[in-house]
Structure 1
C-alpha cells in the first residue's frame, strides 16, 4: 500500500526515512514569488522573508488534476493508495483529492479526512505508513486512524491574529477586538466541523503558552502519560516555556520539536507555539 499526504503535515524527517510516503504540493506566494512549501521554501527562510515584508502570503492547494496525475503514476505499481489530508474544514485539499481519485479510475484510492493539520496530521501519516509497511489491510489502517483522529489533539496559541483575520479564518471584528485587548487565543480544531475553535484565552503570550498545558490537563488529566511533539513558527523561547510547563504536569514521551510548515505559517504568522498530544499508549503496539 502506498501512502499519500500533503505538505500541511508536519513530520520529523527522521521518522520518514524508512517509510514510503508521497506528498502532494501545497504552494505559497509571498512578495510575488511562488514556492512549494517544504520543497524550495523551508520554515527558517519563510519566516525571515515574512518578517521583512508588509505583504500577506497566500496559499493554494493542489488541483484535482494534479492529484489524478499522481494517483495514475502510483497506480502503475499495482499498489492500493491511501491519501491522508488536512482537515476538509480548513482546506479544499481533501475535496481536490477526492475528485482526483474519481478522475483516475485505474487507481484504487481511499481518501481520508484527518480532521486536523500539522503534527497531528503527521502522526496519522506516520502510523498509516508503518502499518502499511507491516502489511496491514486498508480496513485495519482506517480503524487505527479513526482512533488517532478522535483521541489526539493539536493545540496552539498565536502571537498575532492579523494573518487569521486577513485569511478570513476569524471575523474581522472579533480579531480586531482581541488585538486591541491583547487577548491571545488558544485554538484547536473541532472534531465535528474540522474548523478552528477557541479553547481558551489569556491576556499575554506567556500566559497563553502556559495555558496550553491547562487545556491538555482538562482533556487527559494531570499526570497522564502522553506523546508530545512541540512545534513553533520562529519562537524557540515560547517552546521552552511550553516544554517546562508540560514536563511539570505530565509524563511526556517527547518527539523532536519541528518548525511549523510555511503553508500553515502563512495563516498564523511568526510566533505561533503549539503541540500535538495524545495518549502514549496509542503508539506503543
Structure 2
C-alpha cells in the first residue's frame, strides 16, 4: 500500500522518519514567480520574500494531470493507494484527486478528505503511513483516520487578516471590521465541513495567545493528558510562549514544534501561532 498526500500537511522530520509518504505539489506564485511549497521554497525563504514585497501571493492545487501521472507511476509499484488530503472546505485538492483516480483504472485509489490542514492533516497522514507499514487494510485505515479526526482540534490566531481576506478564507467585510477594531480572532476548523470558524477573539495578539489555552479548556479540563503540536508562521517566540502556557495547564506529550508550509502561510502571512491537540486517552493506538 502507498500513501499519498499534499504539501498542506505539516510533518516534522521526526514524524516522517521510517515512513514512506509521497507528496503532490501545491504551488505559490509571488511577484510573477512560482514555487512548489516545501520543494522550491522553504518557510524562512518564503516569509523573507513576503516581507520584501507589497504583492499578495496566490496558490494553486495540483492539476488532474499531475495526479494522474503520480498515481500511474506509483501503481507500477503497488496498485493499492490511499490518498490523504487537505480539507475540501479549504481547497479543491481532494476533489481533483478523486477525478484523477477515476482515470487510473490500473490502481485502486482511496481518496480521504481529512477535513483539516497543517499539523492536524499531518497527524492523519502519519497515522495512515504507520498503519500501512503495519499491514492494515484500507477500511481499517479509513476508520483510524476518522478516529484521529474526531479526537483532534486545531486552533490558531494571527496578527493580521489581510492574507485570509485576499485568499477568500474569510469575508472581506468581516475581515475589514475585525482589522479596524484590532480584533484578533481565534480560529478553529470545523469537523463537519472542514471550514474555518471563529471560536473566540481578543483585542491584542498576546491576549489571543492566552485565549488559545482558554479555548483548549473548553475541550479538555486543565490537567488532562494531551498530545500537542505547536505550529507557527515565522513566529518561534510566539510558539514558545504558547507551549509554556499549555505546559502550565496540561500534561502534554509534545510533538515537534513546526513551521507551517509556505502554501498555508500564503493565506495567513507571518506571525500565526496555533496548535493541534487531542486527549491521549481518546487518541487511537497507532502501530
Q: Fold conserved (TM > 0.5)?
A: yes
The runs of at least 4 aligned residues of structure 1 exceeding 2 Å deviation read none
> What CA distance in whole angstroms lies between the structure 2 residues aligned with 1:181 and 1:259?
28
1:17: how far off? 2.4
For residue 160 of structure 2, what is the aligned residue in structure 1? 160
Partner of 1:214: 214
- TM superposition score normalised by structure 1: 0.98
Long gaps (5+) in structure 2: none
Aligned residues: 285
Q: What root-mean-square deviation, in Å, do the aligned CA atoms of Structure 1 and Structure 2 show? A: 1.0
Which residue number corresponds to residue 80 of structure 2? 80
Cα distance in 1 for partners of 2:80, 2:171 equals 41
Q: Is the 1:210–1:241 Cα contact (8 Å) retained in structure 2?
A: no
Tell me, yes or no, if the aligned pair for 1:128 and 1:145 is still in contact at 8 Å.
yes
Gaps of 5+ in 1: none
Tell whether 2:88 aligns with 1:54.
no
Look up the match of 1:244: 244
2:177 maps to 177
- How far, CA to CA, are the matches of 1:219 and 1:171 in structure 2? 27
Q: Which residue of 2 aligns with 1:150?
A: 150
User: CA offset at residue 284 of structure 1?
Assistant: 4.7
Name the CA shift for 1:79/1:105 in 2 (closer, same or farther; >3 Å): closer
CA distance in structure 1 between the aligned counterparts of 2:71 and 2:194, rounded to whole angstroms: 25
**Corresponding residue SS for 1:163:** helix
Give the structure-2-normalised TM-score: 0.97
Contact kept, 8 Å, 1:159 with 1:184, in 2: the verdict is yes
Counterpart CA distance in 2 for 1:150 and 1:13 is 25
Could you say what secondary structure the match of 1:248 adopts?
A: helix
What is aligned with 1:110?
Answer: 110
The equivalent of 1:38 in structure 2 is 38
